[in-house]
Structure 1
Amino acid sequence: MSGSREWLCYTDGSAKPGTGAPGGWGFVVKPPSGSAGPAREGYGKATGTLAKIMEYRAVAEALEVLPERAQAVVFSDNQSLVESLEKKLESWRASGFRNVDPLVVESVRLIDRAMNDKELVVRFQWVRSHNGNPGNERADQLAAQGAREAKADLAVTTKRR
């Protein structure tokens, strides 16, 4: 793959400990250099979740915004996620996803579906967190925003009781 033709996808997930376990995911998808168009961003929120669930969800959501037949690098600061998707996705698919952590299997299926349905060529790359990488820092901010919104939702729900 040529770096100049690759979409750059920065992903991150966040979850806060405590009541309701609020979490969030975020992504920044940058088009290939020289391509028209701005970066695409997205984030979301969840309650009763864990950081690893949000990390996988961020990857699934980022792949959804890619065009068909895109070549992409997905950056994550979760080394386990990167290693698992790089080395195990094919065997997981072959086993019908039976050996995937039940907490992330839904997102893994979405990742696989996006890659297959859109004919994406994706590689996964670990990036050190909080190390000044603008894409990773922005994805972290978006994930944190989702977690804050989920926490605020929990506070409103608690007040209504």
Structure 2
Amino acid sequence: MRIVVYADGGCEPNPGTGGWGAVISGTDGAIELYGGELATTNNRMELTAAIRALEHFHDGAQVEMRCDSQYVVKSITEWMPGWKARGWRTSKGFVQNLDLMQRLDELNSLHDVCWIWVRGHSGDPRNERADRLAAQGRREVLR
């Protein structure tokens, strides 16, 4: 049985103060993770949410990762094989957020992850909760 994760990140302004949140739904209930950074970008926070969630699991976990960031989902499912084949370069230069992309690739290889894009702010309670956790992470880092 797959563990379902909703991961979200945001930044206000972008770039600026950001937060990330993740809701992990398993048979034992839900686990909520969140955090933030003072100087970051929206994309870095989206990636961080997925990374922090995957770091929560032991190797070999079966995970359904639901993200409202097409950047994250397409990076891991479509673009990354080409980047790796070109020495972590895009057709136009270096991969942005390389440190996080490489960490995400490492974690993705340790687990059985099914990546799913979900529309943000569409009423899914767990996606909305991940969004609120990201906002909480942003607020708390400013204290």
Matched, 1:64 2:82: no
Write out aligned runs for 1:1-161 (5 A). 5-17=1-13, 21-31=16-26, 35=27, 37-99=28-90, 101-102=95-96, 104-116=97-109, 118=110, 120-152=111-143
Residues 21, 133 of structure 2: 8 Å contact kept: yes
- TM-score where L is the length of structure 1: 0.78
Give the Cα–Cα distance (whole angstroms) in 2 for the partners of residues 138 and 23 of structure 1: 16
Residues 82, 125 of structure 1: 8 Å contact kept: yes
Quick check: 82-91 or 52-61, which moved more? 82-91
Deviation at 1:94, TM superposition (A): 3.4
Quick check: 42-51 or 83-92, which moved more? 83-92
SS of 2:29's partner is coil
Quick check: 88-97 or 122-131, which moved more? 88-97
Quick check: 47-56 or 87-96, which moved more? 87-96
Deviation at 1:63, TM superposition (A): 0.8
- TM-score where L is the length of structure 2: 0.87
- Give the letter aligned to residue 6 of structure 1: R
Deviation at 1:150, TM superposition (A): 2.3
SS of 2:142's partner is helix
The list of structure 1 runs, each at least 4 consecutive aligned residues, that deviate by more than 6 angstroms after superposition, is none
- Greater share of residues in strand: 2
5+ long unaligned stretches in structure 1:
153-161
Give the Cα–Cα distance (whole angstroms) in 2 for the partners of residues 95 and 135 of structure 1: 37
Q: What root-mean-square deviation, in Å, do the aligned CA atoms of Structure 1 and Structure 2 show?
A: 1.9
Give the Cα–Cα distance (whole angstroms) in 2 for the partners of residues 151 and 16 of structure 1: 12
Residues 60, 108 of structure 1: 8 Å contact kept: no
Residues 86, 123 of structure 1: 8 Å contact kept: no
Q: 1:96 to 1:65 in 2, by over 3 A?
A: farther
Residues 43, 71 of structure 2: 8 Å contact kept: no
Aligned residues: 140
